[in-house]
Structure 1
């Protein structure tokens, strides 16, 4: 049986994968309901949003990764609601 909130395990959909790989990841984990995916978006957004400003001058590549993640989450919301 599953225990705990799976949302933290779903967050890599936006941190790690792009394009078709993200779609496949989501399809493979389709048995998680929309509520879990909404929470996963939050798990993906929190470190991304805070990292954009925090790393802007000291680690610009990490700040850019945060921006890409935010964009990916917003695109996901447009696509899946």
Structure 2
């Protein structure tokens, strides 16, 4: 059981890649008149790039670009176990 002090607090900075993706997607849809004009992979790639340039959260060590890439790939490759 976790105590109140040991629970990690969230940060608005963690939402910036998602917000960047949504803004880009909506702007592309409004400019072109069709929301299916921008490939989602392009938007997700740009959101990933935004996540690489964010500074670390308070109390987290500063990572090199290579360490950020490794952490990103490791997190994306983790399988979610689902109960049967």
**TM-score normalized by the length of structure 1:** 0.30
More helix by share: 1
Q: Bigger relative contact order, structure 1 or 2, given CA contacts below 8 A and separation 6+? A: 1
